Amino acid sequence: MKRKGVGFSLPVAVVILVIGFIYFSTVFTFIDRWFSLTSSPGIANAAAFTALALMCVYSYSIAVFRDPGRVPISYMPDVEDQQSPVHEIKRKDHHCIWINNCVGHTNYKVFFVFVVYAVTACIYSLVLLVGSLTVDSQDEDEEMGSYLRTIYVVSSFVLISLSIALGVLLVWHIYLSLQNKTTIEYHEGVRAMWLAEKGGQVYKHPYDIGAYENLTLILGPNVLSWLCPTSKHIGSGLRFRTAFDSVPVSSESKP
């Protein structure tokens, strides 16, 4: 599998512009109108939202530029290894236009973390937007009022749309992570389940080793670092534990 070009593209530019628009609208319109940026609550909310925005940008940039990983062309699993009951090579990746990169073994966690921060930021901004509408500013002239109406209408549309879309995406990936599946494996599992039922058998995803263990394989063994965009724990991606293992490690290959 050849890696597709990564870096800037039109969808990536749109994401960056949306992040910038949401940040400036939230800090300099919603927070400033509701609390005032010179007040303690205003400074605290601005600092919190800025930190959240920085984590969004940082995790997003890693997801965009990090090589998603791949199975070496020459690699073949050791089919004679008696301790490895599952042997397969998966060379397909899921290409996401919004990061102009594939989502694979080495950048899946940072992609997941980005979605978490993005959903949190959208909901936070939406709360600040609603709160700022409770403020009745009598000293705003007609031109400023028209500008603010535009900001509020556009922001409401963007934030509600993103909160729903990213929220659904986050719930979907939480579901996949709890079962230790990729999107491709989910679709493969649907067919495998149908074939198993047709043969009078019960299908079980071979890499599902329990919800908590599944999460530690994806997000890391330290719960405190689950929302950090780091992935030193992931290994080479050539060997994975399975539900059939009597020992902690099994053999499997997927990018």
Residue of 56, 96, 102, 228 with catalytic role: 96
CA atoms within 13 A on the CB side of 187: 4
Rounded CA separation 31/40 (Å):
11
The structure tokens listed for 52 are 């959240």
SS (H, E, C) 129-184: HHHHCCCCCCCCCHHHHHHHHHHHHHHHHHHHHHHHHHHHHHHHHHHHHHCCCCHH
Give the Cβ contact number of residue 237 at 10 Å.
18
d(CA 199, CA 156): 51
Q: Is 102 a catalytic residue?
A: no
Two tokens, residue 191: 């067919």
Determine the distance from the C-alpha atom of residue 81 to the mean position of all C-alpha atoms in its chain, rounded to a whole number: 35
DSSP letter at 89 equals B
- List the catalytic residues: 96
